[in-house]
Amino acid sequence: MAQFIDMLWLEQGLSDNTLSSYRSDLKSFRQFLLANNSDVDSASFEDIQSFQHHLVSLNRAKTSVTRMISALRRFYNFLQTSELISSNPMAKIVMPKADKKLPKTLSQQQVEALLAAPDLEDAIECRDSAMLELLYATGMRVTELVSLQMSQISLQQGVIRVVGKGNKERLVPMGEMAIDAIENYLKTARNELLKNASDVLFPSKRGTQMTRQTFWHRIKAYAVRANINVDLSPHTLRHAFATHLVNHGADLRVVQLLLGHSDLSTTQIYTHVAKARLQELHSQHHPRA
């Protein structure tokens, strides 16, 4: 199992969060097999089916079951390719179809309220304001945001070099509002937060790189301050960025490049969001809806 995780890290450059999910899924699978007098190396097609039924009996979300079965398929393909097993128990397993969920997002008015929530006179909140503006302006992931270095940003050119999944880089324009917020933060607050020399663009109050969990808690606090009652997720502003672009006529392939999606099908969910919004407006305002 450790060899498999090492391969994912070395050859595919998966993030620490993704690797952690793989470890957790495989550990759960091994524990299930051991409780049923089997093991990873000797698992059969019937064992995999039993594990699927076990997950369903636990009322696991369909997306969670799909992710775990996908992890097992990848794992057993690795074992077979490495000639560590003679037959692949996943060969005949049919992947469950995941429900297509529309991502939770915010209206433009709610985004404006959230961006206005931080107090720019406070150093930490001035930093948070610049982070929120940049998050909405670029659609980057929270993990990408908190790991930004000074060398990745060019205020003069108005672009930021984002390092995404698999260490893939993309250049994303920032927009005037984000540039203004970052310039203000760099002039007034960053030096106050730094405890020692560091290239981290948005240091924590300890002067080190912030964790994504810390920033996520701060987003939720600002949402409460702005009277936003939507059930937020770490990707909410990323979804708002993409949804608002599509709603204003942006080409889907451009949105794909900005988000750093490797597959256009991942980006196509935002066309459904746009259609859902149009249907909602039609039903509310059309006299014959």
Residue located via tokens 């076990």: 54
Task: Report strand pairing: 153-154 vs 169-173.
Answer: unpaired
Distance linking the first and last C-alpha atoms of the chain:
56
Angle at 121 between CA 115 and CA 125, to 5 degrees: 45
Q: Check if the beta carbon of residue 8 is closer than 8 Å to that of residue 19.
A: yes
Q: Collect all residues with Cβ–Cβ distance below 8 Å to 188 and sequence separation of at least 6.
A: 123, 126
Please state, in angstroms and rounded to a whole number, the distance separating the CA atoms of residues 232 and 236: 6
- Positions marked active-site: 141, 165, 235, 238, 261, 270
What CA–CA distance (Å, rounded) separates 251 from 255?
Answer: 7
- CA distance linking residue 120 with residue 184, whole number of Å: 9
Residue pair 56/65 in contact (Cβ under 8 Å)? The answer is: yes
Cβ contact 5:22 at 8 Å: yes
Question: How would you classify residue 14: left for phi > 0, otherwise alpha for psi between -120 and 50, otherwise beta?
Answer: beta
Residue 10 backbone dihedrals phi, psi, to 5 degrees:
-75, -50
For 263, which DSSP code? S
Ramachandran area for residue 263 (φ above 0: left; ψ -120 to 50: alpha; else beta): beta
Per the CB < 8 A criterion, the answer to whether 23 and 31 are in contact is no
